Amino acid sequence: MSHRLLALLAASTLLLAACGKDDEGAATQGGGAATAPATEPAQTTETAGAAPAGCEAVQAPEPKPEGSLKAPSKPLGKGTWDVTLQTSCGEIQIRLDTKENPKTAASFAALVRRGFYDGLTFHRIGRLPDGGDFVIQGGDPTGQGNGGPGYSVTEAPPSDTRYTKGVVAMAKTATEAPGTSGSQFYIVTAEDSGLPPEYAVAGKVVGPLDAVEKIAKADADPQTERPTAPIVIQRASLAVPGSGGSTER
């Protein structure tokens, strides 16, 4: 089976993933390379299995309730804005795309500033039908793939957008307009996922991909794609442009 066909199959299941609702009743979340049941319980505080190679063994955090936040009303200021995710598998540095996707970048930054991502998990390790790398997904407060921040923003990506390795994009459901996003994001782990230009782009991983690759190789349930051991975002911080790399929180 060709890589292109595998990617299209993965894209169809990405759109059909479990969804949650924002405070106006519209579906805001979903995504991944396969569908996970929305009713599946979140992991408990007990470690479910051996930590991925090179990762810290941690307990799964308690699920958080659906968010009730408001979308930011202003874009980020000029300069280079970087988000650092401190995870149980190492550090992931993301450079936000404030030029092509300012609304999405501002929303992602606002969630970081509010501490929204602290203590959340990577709840899905998405793989292609042939077992190849596809995406890793996180940012859901409930840990089940159906939660969000309480709002959504819409920013359709350019028609020539490609979702290649290291691109950070936002999950959405099949019923939502292209470029709709809440808090759930995925990092592409395939060299080229072949996804259609329907997912808002937050930015791209800069620097080493070691932590991303560790997470991508973690053991996961083949049906739900839930990691067998917790992978936690311990803290997210936002670097202030022109501050020599200091962070806002």
Per-residue pLDDT tens digits for 20-38 = 333 333 333 433 333 222 2
DSSP character at residue 159:
T
Q: Residue 66's closest CA among 106, 37, 26?
A: 26
Q: What is the pLDDT of residues 196-221, one digit of tens each?
A: 999 999 999 998 999 999 999 999 99
Whether 152 has a pLDDT exceeding 70, the answer reads yes
What region, left, alpha or beta, does residue 209 occupy, with left being phi > 0 and alpha being psi -120 to 50 degrees? alpha
pLDDT value at residue 39:
23
Task: Report residue 112: phi and psi, to 5°.
Answer: -65, -45
pTM of the model: 0.83
Determine the Cα–Cα distance for residues 228 and 216; give it in Å rounded to an integer. Answer: 13
Cα 126 to Cα 93, 139, 168, 190, distances in angstroms = 20, 14, 14, 10
Stretch among 45-49, 77-81, 108-112, 210-214 having the lowest mean pLDDT: 45-49
Query: pLDDT class for 249, splitting at 50, 70, 90?
Result: low
Neighbours of 204 (CB within 10 A): 18
Confidence of residue 241 (pLDDT cuts 50, 70, 90): confident
pLDDT confidence of 240, banded at 50, 70, 90?
confident
Listed by start position, the domains of the chain span 3-35+45-238
Q: Which residue has the higher pLDDT, 17 or 83?
A: 83
pLDDT digits (tens, 9 = 90+) for 153-199: 999 999 999 999 999 999 999 999 999 999 999 999 999 999 999 99
pLDDT given for residue 14 in this prediction = 53
What is the average pLDDT score of the chain? 84
Q: Which CATH superfamily is domain 3-35+45-238 in?
A: Cyclophilin-like (2.40.100.10)
Chain centroid, CA 246 distance in Å: 24
Token code pair at residue 139: 């940012």
